Amino acid sequence: MAFPPLVVPTGLELIGQVTGEDSPNRTGSRFGFLATDLGILWDDGEGGVLAAFGDTYGDGWAGPGAGARTADHRRNVLGRSTGTELRAGLVLDEMTEDRPGHAAEILPADPHRRLESTVIPTAGIAVDGVQYIHYMSVKVWGVPGGWRTNYGGIAYSRDRGMTWHKDRDARWRNTWLRGRQPFQMGAFTRDPADPAWVYLFGTRNGRFGDVHLARVAAGQVAEPGSYEYWTGSHWSEFWHRARPVAAGPCGELSVAYHRGLGCWLMVHLDDRAGRILLRSAAAVTGPWSDGQTLVSGQEYPALYGGYLHPGALDGDEIYFTMSQWGPYNVYLMRADLAKK
């Protein structure tokens, strides 16, 4: 077996707060929300970057952590950034709104679902002018990091993210007894050398599963029946034959090809160890390196997330978003990288 390249992060830097009224984006007065998390980033194909956030709160939010449903709660919101000077921070130029100055909930509750706590985006990608979001329907929150989902699904937008469609057939329904369907949370990516395929890395519900891999033709992203799953040696049409490409415990997940280093990068949360990890691989199927500590919870308590910025994959650094539970807001981080 070939050994994966080892990429070591150094020089971690907090660039600035992205969300909250005390951030440069002043999301309270400009967009009607004071607290949110995640900040999943992807190239929108039009010269900008879309940023999807999770449970979001406005007036009435007092913190710490997520707020009450009465605090102008939205299950998710979506912003757009066109700034390229990331050392100055991640600028949110606009949000998808339901009225002026108020960020809209883009993925509503499932009207056919009796038990559903929230709807949270986990990944995004643009293909041929269509925006796609992988999201999870959270059934119930359990022990910290151990929630249960109804399903992982695909939603799409044909109008730059203004309106979204959740197809009831575009879902990976969770297994009934054990909740182990491995594509409940996702990370989309494409190979710059072979854009015919869209890859979806996936984990089961919660933050403790292994990482699995699927692929689909670029024109069929919203068709789960068209996906193929990596078995460790070949692609199969059956998801239950998928085998891990990277061992957990894995929480929020982000994968991209880093052109500057000439290899694949994976960023994810290791909730048990309280840190965000960086892994690397020569091929999308692996083998993937052991995780290197990218951010430590000793320095940034109650951290989670870790989503790569698609506009910073050319040099010897990365930018990524990180959340903290206490402030319940999102921050832009930077790290230098060295390939061993």
- The contacts of residue 338 (CB under 8 Å, 6+ apart) are 7, 8, 10, 316
Q: What is the pLDDT of residues 77-96, one digit of tens each?
A: 999 999 999 999 999 999 99
Q: Is the confidence at residue 45, as pLDDT, over 80?
A: yes
Q: Is the confidence at residue 20, as pLDDT, over 70?
A: yes
pLDDT reported for residue 177: 76
User: What letter would DSSP give residue 234?
Assistant: S
- Confidence grade of residue 2 (pLDDT, cut at 50, 70, 90): confident
Which letter, b or e, does each residue of 283-305 get, where b requires 16 or more Cβ atoms within 10 Å of its Cβ?
ebbbebbebbbbbebeebeebbb
- Confidence grade of residue 148 (pLDDT, cut at 50, 70, 90): very high
Query: Distance between CA atoms of 188 and 314, rounded to whole angstroms?
Result: 19
Q: Is the confidence at residue 143, as pLDDT, over 90?
A: no
Query: Distance between CA atoms of 239 and 304, rounded to whole angstroms?
Result: 27
Query: Distance between CA atoms of 170 and 223, rounded to whole angstroms?
Result: 6
pLDDT reported for residue 340: 85
Structural domains for the chain: 7-339 (2.115.10.20)
User: What letter would DSSP give residue 108?
Assistant: -
What percentage of the chain reaches a pLDDT higher than 70? 100
Q: Identify which of 4-8, 61-65, 111-115, 243-247 has the greatest average pLDDT.
A: 243-247
Q: The tokens of 56 are what?
A: 């979001």
Phi and psi (nearest 5°) for 138?
A: -80, 120
Q: The tokens of 125 are what?
A: 């990608």
Q: Is the confidence at residue 208, as pLDDT, over 70?
A: yes
- Confidence grade of residue 1 (pLDDT, cut at 50, 70, 90): low
Q: The tokens of 42 are what?
A: 């992807």
Query: Distance between CA atoms of 298 and 75, rounded to whole angstroms?
Result: 29
Q: What is the pLDDT of residues 184-198, one digit of tens each?
A: 999 999 999 999 999
One-letter identity of residue 222: A
Query: Distance between CA atoms of 252 and 17, rounded to whole angstroms?
Result: 19
Task: Name the residue among 164, 131, 166, 107 with its Cα closest to residue 48.
Answer: 131
What percentage of the chain reaches a pLDDT higher than 90? 94
Q: The tokens of 20 are what?
A: 């909250």
